[in-house]
Amino acid sequence: MQTPLHLACPRCLTANRVPRERLAEEPKCGKCGAPLLDGAPVALEEAGFDAFIARTDLPVLVDFWAPWCAPCRAMAPAFEQAAAQLRTAVRFIKVNTEEAPRLAARWNIRSIPTLVRFENGSETGRISGAMDAASLVRWATRRGAKAEA
- Which residues are annotated as catalytic? 69, 72
CB nearer to Zn ion: give 23 or 34: 34
Sequence-distant (6+) residues with CB within 8 A of 134 are none
Q: Shortest Cβ distance from residue 2 to Zn ion (Å)?
A: 23
Q: Given its phi and psi angles, is residue 2 left (phi above 0), alpha (psi -120 to 50 degrees) or beta? A: beta
- Choose, by CB under 5 A, the member of 4, 6, 23, 34 that binds Zn ion: 34
Closest by CA to 107, choosing from 60, 143, 39, is 60
Task: Using the rule CB under 5 A, give the single segment among 32-40, 77-85, 92-100, 134-142 that binds Zn ion.
Answer: 32-40
- Could you tell me where the DSSP H helices lie in 12-120? 46-54, 70-85, 101-106
User: Is 44 one of the binding residues for Zn ion (CB under 5 A)?
Assistant: no
Binding site residues, Zn ion, CB under 5 A: 9, 11-12, 14, 29, 31-32, 34
